Amino acid sequence: MQYRSFGRLDWKPSALGFGAMRLPTLGGNHAMIDEELATRMIRTAIDAGVNYVDTAWPYHNEQSERFLGRCLRGGYRSRVRLATKLPTWLVEKQEDFDRFLDEQRRRLETETIDFYLLHGLGRLQWTKLYDLGVLDWAERARHEGRIGIVGFSFHDSLAAFRDIVDAYDWTFCQIQYNFMDTGFQAGTEGLRYAAKRGLGVVVMEPLRGGSLTRPAPRDVEALWETASPQRSQADWALQWVWNDPDVSLVLSGMTAMSHVEENLASAERSGVGTLRDDELRLVDRVRDAYRALAPIPCTSCRYCQPCPQGVAIPRVFSFYNDAMAYGDLTRLSAQYANDRFMKPESRADRCVACGACEAACPQDVEIIEWLKKAHATLMPEGRPETARSS
């Protein structure tokens, strides 16, 4: 196992962290974790040197934390730093901070949660928590030994990310980052911003929820075939993230033992600056090829925002474009229907065709028609499925 630096913290994390969001299940029931297999997977990873395990309140319908408490018995708990997250969207009053934390400690069978994150922060969630005094509370919980280190995971704009980073002396943060998401949410600029301020940066979704491991479209496959040596798509995506010196560790949600074995092998080969210049240029070409497959020419410039009806136009378009480019309609439809970061009243069907967005769009996108098509494609029967974000 390779180990990396973690901002100002005097601790070396394994290059690979185990994310307990997509564990194997029984009978297709997300709440029914296959505990025998999942336990073997996590312990195999720890035995190979993985020293960071990540979970959260809602994962596996609130069963992930409970399972990990059992899985890490027998001495495994002391061999890892354990991370979980405050369910920010459920917090309504100050008392909720203690209520959730103490319940999570009980579920995880641990006195101290080593890394405690404020889950899925955006500007609205951050403002609510800040006004409720979350920072003072976190300091008290840390001094009491219930929390080791305080951080946050993030889903919002780069501007919001910078504001949150500057608001407190954070030790670490967690962002979505992969070779397709260099300009999405915090993106590369956010990664650099956090690292320059001494934060450890945990990367989630390095494989974009599995989209970057699906059978590639022919144009993309042809590009990968030019590489020497050859790699799997997952290995390309992971090595690209590990190549960056500002990345502290990479989380992977693994569903099968083969995923654990392949990711451990990739982690052993990982390192800062291990990809050649020609390999980095190839990844750039693959990124361009994927983006060319997105049918809506939206650049997420946000000139169309705010919509008078509250439609989250760029986010709707990102779901549709991703579904088309990666051939991943089932997963992205479920996310669109249950997105915690886009309220139901912000979906495309709330459009009244007022035209304000089209008048403001510098790309001359036919926004109204695309919104209709996106919604009809992503929610053809209007029946949401369960999905959660990290």
**Amino acid 26: pLDDT:** 94
**Amino acid 340: pLDDT:** 66
**Amino acid 79: pLDDT:** 97
**Amino acid 302: pLDDT:** 75
Judged on CB neighbours under 10 Å (0-12, 13-18, 19+), 125 is buried
Instruction: Quote the Cα angle for 99-103-105, to 5°.
Output: 120
**Amino acid 216: pLDDT:** 86
Q: What is the pLDDT along the chain (390 residues), one digit of tens a residue?
A: 999 999 999 999 999 999 999 999 999 888 899 999 999 999 999 999 999 999 999 999 999 999 999 999 999 999 999 999 999 999 999 999 999 999 999 999 999 999 999 999 988 899 999 999 999 999 999 999 999 999 999 988 899 999 999 999 999 999 999 999 898 889 999 999 999 999 999 999 999 888 888 888 888 999 999 999 999 999 999 999 999 999 999 999 999 999 999 999 999 999 999 999 999 999 999 999 988 888 888 877 778 988 999 999 988 988 898 888 888 788 888 888 877 667 888 899 999 999 999 998 877 889 999 999 999 999 876 544 433 445
Strands 147-154 and 172-176: parallel
**Amino acid 293: pLDDT:** 85
| pTM as predicted | 0.83
DSSP character string of 290-330: HHHT-SS------TT-S-TT---HHHHHHHHHHHHHHT-HH
Q: Which residue ranges form the domains of the chain, and what is each CATH number?
A: 16-283 (3.20.20.100), 295-390 (no CATH)
Name every residue whose Cβ is closer than 8 Å to that of residue 191 and which is 6 or more positions away in sequence.
Answer: 175, 177, 201, 244, 246, 247
Strands 147-154 and 52-54: unpaired
**Amino acid 384: pLDDT:** 42
**Amino acid 386: pLDDT:** 38
**Amino acid 314: pLDDT:** 87
